[in-house]
A and B are shown apart, each in its own frame.
Chain A
Amino acid sequence: MTVTSASPQNTGLMRTLSVLRDVVSRPSGAIGLFLVVFHVVLALVSPWIVPYDYKAMNSAMMLTGPEATHWLGTDHLGRDVFTRVLLGGREALLVTGIATPIAVTWGGFVGILFGLIGGRIDEVLMRVVDAFLSLPWILKMLVLIVTFGTGIEVLIPTLAFFYGIPVIRIARAATHDVVARDFVSAARARGHSRMTIIRHELLPNVLDTLMVEGAMRWSWMLLAFSSLSFLGFGVSPPTPDWGLMIADARGFMSFAPWGVLGPVIAVSSLIIGINLTADALAKALGIDRAQKAPV
């Protein structure tokens, strides 16, 4: 056991740093984190580095294959696919980047609360959650989107709401493990309020699980967003978006596969990157039940 001394503010920071170092030291973490950072940076800077205007159509060059001037060829309207792939993640990252923290926050809070309350109320509410989860997500979301429209202002709350529900389950399960421990009983016996117990005793111990869960939810949400766009309920044309691009190009897939391949590789690499990072994070935080150090 190493005994290090640090001020209280530093203890948290030091742990974050050491976890980060651990994540990067694992192959899955290094590759995953690289992919995620790569995509995020690209989404931020792409408007300034793209070679063409994403709207610029060219009737003379429709569905041409990859070549020196158009690295990934052109689509059925003669637009540069490479440009559109570079820009196509911006909406997805923006929407999911805002919706994921909201989902984890509200789902986490409700889950911790259920876990703390326990007993029959918790059982009944969890059965409601189960019933809700048993419905296909796409149906539930389509109902809301068809009712309220497809703008960002509808997509973000919709995704955040639906993706917060599975977080409830995870947060509740993690809380159940913590609630049974004596330090929570000690806080109860001292007479702390429920909110204090959640904030000081439960949240710090559930946070690790929530972070990993958040990363997983993010990748699912990206998939959902792309699916919605694919179905025409996400981003409206002509704004480039991976899901939409795949939908547009799939008709020509047999003779112009580059139109599909570009966005598919982009969205897959981002999702794989997030999953690999989540995996490494779980291992670094010790949530994953892998081998631990001896003694």
Chain B
Amino acid sequence: MTGPLIDIRNISVGFTGKSSATLPVLRNIDLKVNAGESIGIVGESGSGKSTLALAAMGYLKSGLRLMEGSVAFQGQDMFARTRTELEQIRGGELALIPQNSGQSLTPTLRIGAQLVEALRLHADVPEAQYSAKAIELLGQVRLPDPAAIMTRFPHELSGGQQQRAAIGMALAGEPTALLLDEPTTGLDVTTQAHILELLRDIARDRGMAMVYVSHDLGAIARVCDRVVVMYAGEVVLEGSTRQVLKTPIHPYARGLLASIPRLSDPRLPVALDGRPPAPGGAGQGCSFIDRCALAQDGCRTSRPDLERLPSGEAVRCFHYQEAHQLSLTGSGAIPASLDGASPSALHLDYLAISYRRPGLYDKVLGRDSAGVPTVDGIEITVAKGETLGLVGESGSGKSTILKAIAGLLPPSGGKITVAGGQALAPEVEHRSPDHLRKIQLIFQNPDDSLNPRQTIAQILEQPLKLYFGLTGDALHQRSAEILDRVRLGAHYLDRLPSQLSGGEKQRVAIARAFAAEPDLVLCDEVTSALDVSVQAAVLDLLNDLKATQGTTYVFVSHDLAVVRALSDRVAVLYQGRLCELGPSADVYAMPSHPYTEVLLGAVLEPDPDTAPTLSADDVVELSPPAQGCPFQRRCPRKIGRICDTDTPPWQQGVKDHTIKCHHSIADLAAAQAEGAAGQRA
């Protein structure tokens, strides 16, 4: 067969809006995927990237329809094929790996049965060999003990294992092309790095083409040869991964890259202000015009075409030659930081939290059922005006600690004291109004933390009425002032949360927390539900508020680069236990604890020249070990029995940099240097 494997020609896809006009979701898209080639599609949420990937399968979500253009797979039009033909191709020659495999696997069927079904439908294997072939596939996706995994149900596997099983199923039909829709979003950093390596290897070994849809440029950089950048349903830039990530010539791509926080850069990322136009909302001109620094009058009146350049790139911009003027890296502010000694704002004194409570049987039988606490031995002091970052993978107990500080989850041991040495009551119901006001919590997802039935005014009035007893005009005026502080106009007061964008909603949530004039703000993954360009703006806002209000933050995130951008000090948690604690600059420059080393090594940078270091395997542990070091089961630098039996001591490094390990920091540094030398040799 000659010609591209997937050939998408000038397709436009739209839906019928309320005013019965057709609103386009995709506009005039051309995309060719050659055999064995790996293409990344990036863009913000709503840019149409998933719709495009699904259209490549000849599938459109209900309500959407093809307005023009054609999609050919292996030279034949996908939209002209019959249902039976499509069923043959989908899952066979052309397989899809969706974002959340935990949800796409059938919960009531064992993994083995699901794989056999995929083989029966799509593979050319005699029935007697189904089960042997299924085991072989599970082995290929590097699942430990494939025969045992065959008999498991999806819920018995971890998120990473589910994703591997889904990849195994997709491979059953010996696909020539694999469509991946955000396949690693929601997975832990270490797991994500391992899955990406697996995908790279599989694609290379089998000569398989991949269409990789993601908002994560780090993941794209790792697996893709070519990248397509989408904006408001259009392709705005296309080129090799190196061209797009290193020297992008479209202003949007440059803005997007500058808004990503980097591990290597202590500066705050630069926000890309504004939001993309809604479907049908783009005017006659360029759809990016409202957010573009290079925009001129001409951009408003006519829409630029996708221009193919001799360099192999394609760009939709009149002024791409000037795009290099726009900075690619954070020229943003250096985060406000603390100088000199400051009194303590929060002290966690051997905090322990246990989710499990003794049940009736345990009481009757006199069993000690509390078992190993989920979070244990957390001892941290946060100075006034400081930002403490709490990082760790899912299950590391970081959000649990925040809930305990907020009083939503009473600790099972230890104490929490605030400024002035006053102990906090464990339950929020028993705290004094003053304590309640001084500690505010901001949640991960503003869709969940803002009441959908309340207007923004009603949302902001709640803390104002409760803590300050404001009423009438004073109340209204104060709400407007607070909204202004998060850079939203007073006209937002009458809106409902559903009428705001994700970033605006999160600003309202921040405004609500700051309405209480708190001393301590607890931020629980506050940017992880947001697009990168919006994330930078929220980080900038938090940094500003800290500088003007002198607020102390405890900032929880699984994203190490985000934590780096904002934190003065960082605490690394594993399985609810502290591993490493120290000034951000030191911890990031010299990650000493073996876990920190593994974690930072797995972070993907949006740069094709960097590769993650994968040291420990990506086993997900469900509960901490009863004794010894919490990282004992995965540690690449394990000493021996002492790690299993004895709780590691604190090891002092330079300044306040400490780790909890049986190795000393100096030993670990030597071992890391040796490892690096070994790799070079």
> Is B428 touching A7 in the complex (CB atoms < 8 A)?
no
Q: Please report which residues of chain B, range 447-485, place their CB below 8 angstroms from some CB of chain A when the two chains form the complex.
A: 448-455, 457-458, 462-463, 466
Measured between alpha carbons, how far is A1 from B505 in the docked complex, in Å? 14
Contact flags B487-513 to A (C-beta < 8 A → 1, else 0): 000010111101100000000000010
Contact flags A61-93 to B (C-beta < 8 A → 1, else 0): 000000000000000000000000000000000
With contacts A200-B454, A200-B462 taken as known, whether A5 is within 8 angstroms of B449 at the C-beta atoms is no
Contact flags A1-33 to B (C-beta < 8 A → 1, else 0): 111111110010000000000000000000000
Of B278, B441, B448, the contact of A189 (CB 8 Å cutoff): B441
Q: Judge if B377 is at the interface, Cβ distance under 8 Å.
A: no
> Is B443 touching A186 in the complex (CB atoms < 8 A)?
yes
> Is B454 touching A204 in the complex (CB atoms < 8 A)?
yes
Contact flags B208-228 to A (C-beta < 8 A → 1, else 0): 000000000000000000000
Q: Judge if A153 is at the interface, Cβ distance under 8 Å.
A: no
Q: Judge if B356 is at the interface, Cβ distance under 8 Å.
A: no
Most buried by B among A1, A183, A201: A183
> What range describes how many residues of B lie at the interface?
35 or more
CB distance from B671 to the nearest CB of A (A): 43
CB distance from B447 to the nearest CB of A (A): 9
> Is A11 touching B494 in the complex (CB atoms < 8 A)?
yes
> Is B449 touching A291 in the complex (CB atoms < 8 A)?
no
Residues of B within 8 A of A196 (CB): 466
- Chain A contact residue count (CB 8 A cutoff): 29
With contacts A183-B450, A186-B441 taken as known, whether A8 is within 8 angstroms of B499 at the C-beta atoms is no
Residue of A nearest to B443 (CB): A182
Measured between alpha carbons, how far is A88 from B462 in the docked complex, in Å? 50
Q: Judge if A140 is at the interface, Cβ distance under 8 Å.
A: no
With contacts A3-B499, A186-B441, A295-B25 taken as known, whether A205 is within 8 angstroms of B62 at the C-beta atoms is no
> Is A190 touching B462 in the complex (CB atoms < 8 A)?
yes
Residues of B within 8 A of A185 (CB): 408, 441, 443, 449
> Is A8 touching B443 in the complex (CB atoms < 8 A)?
no
Contact flags A182-219 to B (C-beta < 8 A → 1, else 0): 11011111111000100011001100000000000000
Residues of B within 8 A of A192 (CB): 462, 466
Q: Judge if B89 is at the interface, Cβ distance under 8 Å.
A: no
Measured between alpha carbons, how far is A190 from B441 in the docked complex, in Å? 8
Measured between alpha carbons, how far is A281 from B406 in the docked complex, in Å? 39
Q: Please report which residues of chain B, range 49-63, place their CB below 8 angstroms from some CB of chain A when the two chains form the complex.
A: 61-63
Q: Please report which residues of chain A, range 172-188, place their CB below 8 angstroms from some CB of chain B when the two chains form the complex.
A: 181-183, 185-188
Contacts A/B (CB < 8 Å), 5 sampled: A2-B499, A3-B495, A5-B495, A181-B448, A189-B436
Across the A-B interface, give the 4 residue pairs with the lowest CB-CB distance, nearest first. Answer: A294-B63, A204-B453, A191-B436, A182-B449
Residues on B lying within 8 angstroms of A by beta carbon are 15, 18, 25, 61-64, 278-279, 406-408, 428, 431, 433, 436-437, 439-441, 443-445, 448-455, 457-458, 462-463, 466, 491, 493-496, 498-499, 512, 516
Residues on A lying within 8 angstroms of B by beta carbon are 1-8, 11, 181-183, 185-192, 196, 200-201, 204-205, 291, 293-295
